[in-house]
Amino acid sequence: MSASPLSQLACLINNSVVALEKACSDSNLPFPSLDDPFSPASEAFRANPQAEEATKVIAAAAHQLMMMVLPPSVALYTLVSGQFKTAALRVCAEANVTEIIREAGPQGMHVKDIAKRANLNSGKLARLLRYLATHHVYKEVLPDVFVNNRISSMLDTGKAVNDIIASPESKHDNTPGFAAIVGHHLDEVYKSSGNLWENMSNPVTANSVETNETAFNTAMDVKTTFWETLAQPDQEYRQRRFDIAMKGVAALESADAILKAYDWESLPKDSVVVDVGGGVGATSMVLAKNIPNVKIVVQDQPTVIAEGSTPFWEKEMPDALASGRATLQAHDFFTPQPVKNASVFLLKQIMHDWSDPYAIKILSQLRRAAQPDTKLILIDSVIPFACHDPSADANTDTENSLRIVGISPKEAPMPLLANFGVANELAYVADLTMLVLFNSQERTVKHLAELLDGTGWRLTKVVRDQAAGSFLQPVEAVPII
């Protein structure tokens, strides 16, 4: 008699816990306590591949087990109640509750004192904190007394409460950026998500792929795009927070992640790498420092080049500009690509900002400028299916019988969802964020292959980095001759 799904899940959890504890022991690193505030050093254990794999299996199995054993109505309401979790978190983030509790010390703080410092109603705040503590965000150590824990401490800017109150618009300045990411999602993304049905059911916007006909536009009642809206004078705080949030997102990937995206050492001397939509050129600078034989061209809008890229390179690598190893070029990627001798066109987190019609324009312009041996590197999240994909078993494009390296992601063991369920949720969060803000998306490997094929490119490789925290999968393509 085969084991029941319940037993299989319990076995997966047990075996993975044993593997996790062994990996931590072998690495001489403790597994962090949920009760202790977060510190970057506490995540060191994830550098062990066995530990990282075990955590994903445990999380996926535990969540699947929870959804199986709860009454269906209760299981459904763990999703239906999402708006209350978001609302409670936003109150705590905006009112600096985590910082207030941190300053109170490890013994915690009574909710009346927290509320007084935050200028909130204590009865209402108590209900929000208790609800969050029920979901392991904050901890109620005595009736109405709360402390931070590993999860709530992620909201901490690290700043003194008095400084935040004195200059609320500067709250996220000079911080790592994670609290800013959270603030962005609890504000613009949350409000946009709440209007997704209204946007999708409106005949005018239901099938739109335009960046100014999104759920964000519906929620904010504006006709301008997300970028244009944040550029308005009355949106200065949101713009500042978003800019810092994007630095925080970049920091989630290791600084040298770009070095794994392609075999850069294989490029001949003086090969040209064009960083299309490269912003200030932080990614390209890593290449410039580590691959000295290549030439870098960073392209972006004129204001970005003048106000961001130029000061950044003049400060960090002025010799690269002076020698011509790095060039900063104003360019709109919807117009003809001026660089005709590129060995590599690099687009990091560009394609996910644009719906297919716009993505086709970008890729087509690059294809027209490409040489037969030019490589195209796209770096976004490649969305895995929630099921096994039989067509990818042979690692081939079955229609053209061509081998595609890395087309299949590593799948979770049965009876887990093939994509590791909630352990891989951030990729889907990114995808839906693109939907509500831009009418754009992250894409599956099949979608990418079709998009590339339709613009004269052939998908040849997907880089599947299993390193801890990796959320971007570089895709390599070559011109169809």
State the catalytic residues: 352
Locate 83 and state its tokens.
């708006």
- List CB contacts of 299: < 8 A, sequence separation 6 or more: 274, 275, 276, 277, 278, 329, 330, 331, 333
Locate 291 and state its tokens.
């691959």
Give the DSSP H/E element, type plus range, for residue 198: helix 196-201
Q: Is-contact 409 444, C-beta < 8 A?
A: no
Cis status of the peptide bond prior to 415, with omega within 30 of 0: yes
Angle between helices 5-26 and 49-69 (to 10 degrees): 150
Burial of 357 (0-12, 13-18, 19+ CB in 10 A): exposed
β-strands 272-276, 375-380 pairing: unpaired
Listed residue (265, 92, 253, 247) closest to 181, CA to CA? 247
- List CB contacts of 143: < 8 A, sequence separation 6 or more: none
Listed residue (149, 136, 140) closest to 111, CA to CA? 140
DSSP 23-72: HHHHTT-PPPPTTSPP-GGGGGGGGSHHHHHHHHHHHHHHHHHHHHHS-H
- Cα-Cα end-to-end distance for the chain: 56
How many angstroms separate the CA atoms of 1 and 231, rounded? Answer: 64
